[in-house]
């Protein structure tokens, strides 16, 4: 009996010892539901931002295309005018002078071709479309002659100049856009693309080119007349506007040529462009040194565009210089220029040469040179430097604000 009790106790003890202790199972963690988004956030998440088509097309047609147009103008009309100016220095009665004059005349006549090629390249067109745009640009530039049947005399092509740049622009851009749409879509692109581009571009230039050209020419004539009547006020307006257009990603040269800006209004415009170039070159000298002085003074003030986005106040010194130089050019010296030089300023010395060629016969060599030095060099340099130094002392312009970033 006692053994059984002992045995049972042992068994019980054994059971107690060998029975595994039940481990408490942890309950799975309950993840709290994410806080619901607000109604506004849900809508913003669902609605995708749509691209601004209007902004994209405006940039494509009025910035990119105008930039390509300007390149075409530089390589044809503007370069041709410089060559003819060099030829006139040597005289047309000798081989050297005749060579420069003839090459310059040919380059000027091919202005429409250069515009077409520049627009086609600027808009990223295939090669076949660019080649068509060259022809379209030429047809567009001479659309007025086609309309009044003066382009051909006895079956011969008669050209007296480069033609109308805006008609060339219209013909080229329509041909390029339609060509880009159909290029690569068919197996007979070599036939379809040229026919479509040539017909549509030429037809659009034929219909719209001459009326648009008349309107723009009227604008240019109006600006010239008003500037003659109010040289101080309009000298300021024209100089500031054309100078700003030179620096912004537009083409002041193309605009000046398109509206046919001439006379003292063109002289004031060219002086305003010089203020931007020389002004930025001098006021940013401590950042960019001699390389920047030459690149901006004789090249382009567009190099400051990235800095203008970050620090737009650097625009003030050259604009103030334009306000001073424009009326002095128009009212005091009465400097004149032609459409090709009106939007160039000191870029490649084109504006300087064109101003001299248009002014010296009436003003005399001495007064013309003095006016160019004062309005194109001294005023832009002195005024821009003075204003920029004042702004630096006030802390409005800081060191590095005008540094040109070279890639």
Same domain, residue pair 260 and 388: yes
Q: Looking at the predicted structure, is the pLDDT value of residue 15 above 80?
A: no
Cα–Cα distances in angstroms (integers) from residue 246 to residues 119, 187, 407, in the given order: 18, 44, 22
Q: Could you tell me if residue 405 is inside a domain?
A: yes
Q: Looking at the predicted structure, is the pLDDT value of residue 46 above 50?
A: no
Same domain, residue pair 282 and 398: yes
Q: Measured in Å, how far apart are the chain's first and last C-alpha atoms?
A: 106
Q: Looking at the predicted structure, is the pLDDT value of residue 227 above 80?
A: yes
Same domain, residue pair 200 and 290: no
For residue 78, the enclosing domain spans 55-218
- Give 398's contacts (C-beta < 8 A, 6+ positions apart): 311, 392
Q: Show the tokens assigned to 313.
A: 């106040």
Same domain, residue pair 134 and 271: no
Q: Looking at the predicted structure, is the pLDDT value of residue 341 above 70?
A: yes
Taking alpha carbons only, the member of 16, 6, 138, 150 closest to residue 77 is 138
Let me know the angle formed at the C-alpha of 62 by 320 and 203, rounded to the nearest 5 degrees. Answer: 140
Give the per-residue pLDDT at 43. Answer: 52
The mean pLDDT of 158-181, rounded to a whole number, is 88
Give the per-residue pLDDT at 118. Answer: 94
Q: Looking at the predicted structure, is the pLDDT value of residue 219 above 60?
A: yes
Q: Looking at the predicted structure, is the pLDDT value of residue 325 above 50?
A: yes
Q: Could you tell me if residue 3 is inside a domain?
A: no
Q: Note whether 179 and 129 are within 8 A (CB).
A: yes
* Integer Cα distance of 260 and 149 in angstroms: 23
Q: Could you tell me if residue 4 is inside a domain?
A: no
40-70: buried (b, 16+ CB within 10 Å) or exposed (e) per residue?
eeeeeeeeeeeeeeeeeeeeeeeebbbbbbb
- The residue behind tokens 């295939």 is 126
Specify the number of domains making up the chain: 2
Q: Show the tokens assigned to 350.
A: 């084109």
Q: Looking at the predicted structure, is the pLDDT value of residue 190 above 60?
A: yes
The mean pLDDT of 91-105, rounded to a whole number, is 89
Q: Looking at the predicted structure, is the pLDDT value of residue 3 above 60?
A: no
* Integer Cα distance of 236 and 285 in angstroms: 26
Give the per-residue pLDDT at 73. Answer: 86
* Integer Cα distance of 288 and 249 in angstroms: 21
- Give 322's contacts (C-beta < 8 A, 6+ positions apart): 236, 239, 240, 243, 271, 272, 275, 276
Highest mean predicted confidence (pLDDT) among 150-164, 253-267, 268-282:
268-282
Give the per-residue pLDDT at 5. Answer: 42
| Phi-psi label, residue 91: left if phi above 0, alpha if psi -120 to 50, beta otherwise | left
* Integer Cα distance of 218 and 306 in angstroms: 35
Give the per-residue pLDDT at 166. Answer: 84
Residue 23 pLDDT level (bands cut at 50, 70, 90): very low
Q: Show the tokens assigned to 306.
A: 């990235």
Q: What percent of the chain has pLDDT over 90?
A: 43
Taking alpha carbons only, the member of 227, 132, 217 closest to residue 174 is 132
The whole model's pTM is what?
A: 0.71
Give the per-residue pLDDT at 406. Answer: 62
Which of 175, 191, 218 terminates a domain? The answer is: 218
Taking alpha carbons only, the member of 183, 182, 163, 179 closest to residue 76 is 163
Same domain, residue pair 257 and 119: no
Give the per-residue pLDDT at 309. Answer: 84
Give the per-residue pLDDT at 120. Answer: 94
Q: Looking at the predicted structure, is the pLDDT value of residue 216 above 90?
A: no
Q: Could you tell me if residue 322 is inside a domain?
A: yes
Q: Looking at the predicted structure, is the pLDDT value of residue 245 above 70?
A: yes
Same domain, residue pair 208 and 240: no
Give the per-residue pLDDT at 77. Answer: 85
Residue 41 pLDDT level (bands cut at 50, 70, 90): low
Q: Could you tell me if residue 28 is inside a domain?
A: no
Q: Could you tell me if residue 170 is inside a domain?
A: yes
Q: Looking at the predicted structure, is the pLDDT value of residue 25 above 80?
A: no
Same domain, residue pair 130 and 247: no
Same domain, residue pair 188 and 273: no
Q: Looking at the predicted structure, is the pLDDT value of residue 324 above 70?
A: yes
Give the per-residue pLDDT at 10. Answer: 43
Which of these ranges, 18-27, 73-82, 152-161, 176-185, has the smallest mean pLDDT?
Answer: 18-27
Query: Model confidence over 47-79: pLDDT tens digits?
Result: 445 567 787 887 888 888 888 888 888 889 888
Q: What percent of the chain has pLDDT over 70?
A: 87
Query: Model confidence over 354-399: pLDDT tens digits?
Result: 999 999 999 999 999 999 999 999 999 999 999 999 999 999 999 9
Give the per-residue pLDDT at 50. Answer: 56
Same domain, residue pair 62 and 110: yes
What mean pLDDT, rounded, does the chain reach? Answer: 84
Q: Could you tell me if residue 29 is inside a domain?
A: no
The mean pLDDT of 41-45, rounded to a whole number, is 52
């Amino acid at each position: 009996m006692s053994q059984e009790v002992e045995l049972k106790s042992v068994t019980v003890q054994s059971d107690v010892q060998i029975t595994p202790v039940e481990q408490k199972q942890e309950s799975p963690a309950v993840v709290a539901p994410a806080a619901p988004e607000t109604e506004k956030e849900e809508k913003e998440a669902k609605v995708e931002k749509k691209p601004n088509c209007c902004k994209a097309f405006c940039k494509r047609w009025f910035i990119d295309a105008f930039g390509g147009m300007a390149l075409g103008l530089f390589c044809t009309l503007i370069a041709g005018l410089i060559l003819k100016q060099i030829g006139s220095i040597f005289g047309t009665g000798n081989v050297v002078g005749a060579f420069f004059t003839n090459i310059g005349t040919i380059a000027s006549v091919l202005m429409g071709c250069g515009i077409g090629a520049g627009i086609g390249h600027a808009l990223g067109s295939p090669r076949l479309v660019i080649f068509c745009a060259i022809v379209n640009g030429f047809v567009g530039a001479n659309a007025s002659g086609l309309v009044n049947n003066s382009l051909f005399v006895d079956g011969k092509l008669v050209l007296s100049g480069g033609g109308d740049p805006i008609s060339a622009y219209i013909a080229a851009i329509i041909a390029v856009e339609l060509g880009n749409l159909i290029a690569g879509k068919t197996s007979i692109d070599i036939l379809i693309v040229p026919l479509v581009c040539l017909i549509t571009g030429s037809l659009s230039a034929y219909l719209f080119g001459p009326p648009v050209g008349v309107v723009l020419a009227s604008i240019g004539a109006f600006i010239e007349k008003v500037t003659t009547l109010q040289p101080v006020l309009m000298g300021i307006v024209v100089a500031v506007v054309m100078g700003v257009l030179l620096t912004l990603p537009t083409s002041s040269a193309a605009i000046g040529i398109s509206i046919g800006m001439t006379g003292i209004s063109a002289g004031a415009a060219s002086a305003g462009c010089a203020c931007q170039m020389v002004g930025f070159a001098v006021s940013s000298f401590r950042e960019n040194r001699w390389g920047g002085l030459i690149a901006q003074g004789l090249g382009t003030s567009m190099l400051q565009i990235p800095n203008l986005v970050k620090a737009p106040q650097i625009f003030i010194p050259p604009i103030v210089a334009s306000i001073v130089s424009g009326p002095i050019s128009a009212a005091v010296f009465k400097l004149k220029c032609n459409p090709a030089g009106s939007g160039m300023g000191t870029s490649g010395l084109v504006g300087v040469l064109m101003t001299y060629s248009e002014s010296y016969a009436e003003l005399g060599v001495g007064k013309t040179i003095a006016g160019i030095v004062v309005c194109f060099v001294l005023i832009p340099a002195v005024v821009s430097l003075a204003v920029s130094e004042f702004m630096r002392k006030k802390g409005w312009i800081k060191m590095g604000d005008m540094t040109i970033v070279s890639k």
